[in-house]
């Protein structure tokens, strides 16, 4: 059975709920505590960005089953303003809010696969996968 869950983000509580849901699913899939922490940190960053920059959106978390490998996929989506300069945003040290997390470059480092699909005035979909090994 493929497991998946989603959390709507429209307040700080949603960020907490998304972290908890992510940790639970990561544990169920078989990730160890270090990877669980990486995954929940990535979810926090993505959920916080939704809350800060798009006001609301959704974090979907699901098990992925590939050929011979399983993992977890995080899909952060919103219908906010979109990301203006994705190239700048992916450079380390580029942040507008001075947050503690390492931002989107941090999420990319914490996960194995990372993709941003963003359109100005239309919204953003960020997908990240971590494989179980």
Ligand X SMILES: Nc1ncnc2c1ncn2[C@@H]1O[C@H](COP(=O)(O)OP(=O)(O)O)[C@@H](O)[C@H]1O
Given the rule CB under 5 A, which residues bind Mg ion?
49, 103
- C-alpha 28/C-alpha 47 separation (Å) is 21
Q: Is residue 5 within 8 Å of 63, Cβ to Cβ?
A: no
- Residue entry with tokens 């941090």: 106
Q: Which residue is nearest to ligand X (CB)?
A: 103
- C-alpha 55/C-alpha 1 separation (Å) is 33
| Cβ 50 to Mg ion shortest distance, Å | 10
| Cβ 5 to Mg ion shortest distance, Å | 22
Decide whether 18 or 29 has the Cβ nearer to Mg ion: 18
| Cβ 129 to Mg ion shortest distance, Å | 19
Interhelix angle 33-49/103-110, nearest 10 degrees: 150
Decide whether 63 or 108 has the Cβ nearer to ligand X: 108
Q: Which residues bind ligand X (CB under 6 A)?
A: 45, 49-50, 53-54, 78, 80-83, 89, 95-97, 99, 103-104, 124
- Cα within 13 Å of Cα(127), Cβ side: 8
Tell me 51's DSSP state: I
Decide whether 106 or 132 has the Cβ nearer to Mg ion: 106
| Cβ 115 to ligand X shortest distance, Å | 14
- C-alpha 133/C-alpha 114 separation (Å) is 18
Decide whether 29 or 107 has the Cβ nearer to ligand X: 107
């Amino acid at each position: 059975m493929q497991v998946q869950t989603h959390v709507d983000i429209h307040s700080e509580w949603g960020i907490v709920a998304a972290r908890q849901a992510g940790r639970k699913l990561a544990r169920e899939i078989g990730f160890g505590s270090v990877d669980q922490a990486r995954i929940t940190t990535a979810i926090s960053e993505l959920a916080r960005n939704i809350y800060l920059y798009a006001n609301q959106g959704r974090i979907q978390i699901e098990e992925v089953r590939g050929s011979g490998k399983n993992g977890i996929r995080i899909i952060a989506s919103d219908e906010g303003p979109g990301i203006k300069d994705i190239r700048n945003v992916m450079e380390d040290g580029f942040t507008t809010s001075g947050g503690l997390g390492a931002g989107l470059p941090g999420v990319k480092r914490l996960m194995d696969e990372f993709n941003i699909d963003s359109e100005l005035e239309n919204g953003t979909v960020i997908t990240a996968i971590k494989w179980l090994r």
